Amino acid sequence: MKGENIFKRKDGRWEARYIRSREISGKIIYGFCYGKTYKEAKEKVAKFKVLYDSGMAPSSGPASRRRFSYFCDAWLESCRLRLKKSTCERYETALEKHIKPKLGSCFPSAITSETAKIFTDALLAEGLAPKTVKDILIVLRLVMKFASKQFPLGLAEIEPDLPKEPKTEARVLSREEQDRFINYLARDIDSCKFGILLAMFTGLRIGELCALKWENISLRERTVRVTATMQRLRNDGEGGRTKITVGSPKSDQSMRVIPLSDASLKLCRYMNVKNQAAYVLTGTNEFIEPRTLQYRLKKYTEDCGLFGVHFHTLRHTFATRCVEVGFEIKSLSEILGHATTAITMERYVHPSLNLKRENMQKLNAVGM
């Protein structure tokens, strides 16, 4: 009959087609039922259509009757119980914008390394950065690992080829640029400029600085205690799409105590306010959010002839200066709030050419 995808074959049997699944591109993959009569073929295909429309596939276990989108949602809900909201929001973005639209209608057993390669190529073709694609693939692999536990025989482990990220040198202020910027901030200093200087001298992250209060600075103990971070997250309730939240730092290692240098201590004593509950960046109970602080930093740096400087540049610069003066790496890693020294060395240590020259000169002692 026309429109039913039921035909009589040359061998006399009746063939009925149904939608079995979809390719990553969305193209329909058909399944086939056969019967001696038109009625028999129609009855058989009707059963498969019901299974497809309900999100279930004909298989031996309940897990395999679920589409991949089901496992994406279930995995994300499990993450909400143990991970920070900001982390879950990143995962949710990867799922809703990329993974579920392309793979959600598939059954987990149909997702293979080859499928992951096609998926990767599709993401790169959309113009996404290799780092973004890599993060999406990591989420895909985590969901597949979660789904595999619900299948009696497991699922084939996917090994997507993670795209190589182009190596780019992080912006680090030279000593001349650093001195110029410090002198600029020190002139007509206010609470905001003081906060930026403090970050330069301690390696604080932007969210940590925005959440920092005077009660976290001990002039007697010469320390800064990092206990919170500020960030803008999606607002699940009413009153706007996003909202500012103050919560625990990035990781357990980010909860840390940073000793103050003599210069930092002198600066803190000069700017100290009586209201210990005041935010460091304002000297009042009002706060400055990270996005606003980025705007101010851009204005300050451009005013003194520095370009391409982001807040993380200050953190990279701090780490580089520490290495140049011979910091012990384990101590530096803890001051920066890193989980391992490898992160410190790989991402934040950028020896200057002068330091490399000094180290090369040490070979004179062995006649090289």
pLDDT tens, position by position, 104-122: 988 888 888 888 888 999 9
How far is residue 314 CA from its own chain's centroid? 20
Distance of alpha carbon 204 from alpha carbon 260, whole angstroms: 12
Distance of alpha carbon 120 from alpha carbon 62, whole angstroms: 29
Averaged pLDDT score across all residues of the chain: 84
Whole-number pLDDT of residue 351: 62
Q: State mean pLDDT over 360-366.
A: 69
Whole-number pLDDT of residue 20: 63
Whether 175-359 and 68-148 are alike in CATH topology: the answer is: no
Which of the four pLDDT bands, split at 50, 70 and 90, describes residue 60? very low
If one compares 355 and 257, the residue with the highest pLDDT of the two is: 257
Residue 367's Cβ-side half-sphere holds a number of Cα atoms within 13 Å equal to 0
Q: Is the predicted pLDDT of residue 52 greater than 60, yes or no? A: no
According to DSSP, the β-strands at 229-234 and 223-226 are unpaired
If one compares 148 and 95, the residue with the highest pLDDT of the two is: 95
SS3 208: helix
Whole-number pLDDT of residue 151: 77
Q: Is the predicted pLDDT of residue 18 greater than 50, yes or no? A: yes
Q: State mean pLDDT over 55-72.
A: 66
The domain limits of the chain are 6-54, 68-148, 175-359
Whole-number pLDDT of residue 23: 56
CATH architecture of 175-359: Orthogonal Bundle (1.10)
If one compares 99 and 151, the residue with the highest pLDDT of the two is: 99
Distance of alpha carbon 314 from alpha carbon 293, whole angstroms: 13
Assigned token pair, 363:
């070979």
Asked whether the CA dihedral 264, 265, 267, 268 is positive or negative, the reply is: positive
Which of the four pLDDT bands, split at 50, 70 and 90, describes residue 349? low
Which of the four pLDDT bands, split at 50, 70 and 90, describes residue 186? very high
Q: Which helix (H) or strand (E) holds 195?
A: helix 191-202
The residues that bridge with 234 in the sheet, in sequence order, are: 242
Whole-number pLDDT of residue 63: 55
Q: Is the predicted pLDDT of residue 211 greater than 90, yes or no? A: yes
pLDDT tens, residue by residue, 27-41: 666 777 788 898 888
Residue with the two structure tokens 């701090």? 318
Q: Is the predicted pLDDT of residue 54 greater than 80, yes or no? A: no
Question: Which value, in Å, is the radius of gyration of the alpha carbons in the chain?
Answer: 29
Whole-number pLDDT of residue 17: 82
Whole-number pLDDT of residue 341: 82
What lies within 8 Å, CB to CB, of 302 at 6+ separation is none
Q: At the topology level of CATH, where does 68-148 sit?
A: DNA polymerase; domain 1 (1.10.150)
Which of the four pLDDT bands, split at 50, 70 and 90, describes residue 57? very low
Distances 252 to 123, 173, 204, 269, 338 between C-alpha atoms, Å: 33, 29, 15, 29, 9
Q: Which residues of 12-33 are buried (b: 16+ CB within 10 A; e: fewer)?
A: eebbbbbebbbebeeeeeeeeb
Q: State mean pLDDT over 285-302.
A: 95
Q: Is the predicted pLDDT of residue 150 greater than 50, yes or no? A: yes
- Cα distance between the two ends of the chain: 89
If one compares 162 and 270, the residue with the highest pLDDT of the two is: 270
Q: Is the predicted pLDDT of residue 169 greater than 90, yes or no? A: no
Assigned token pair, 253:
């290692």
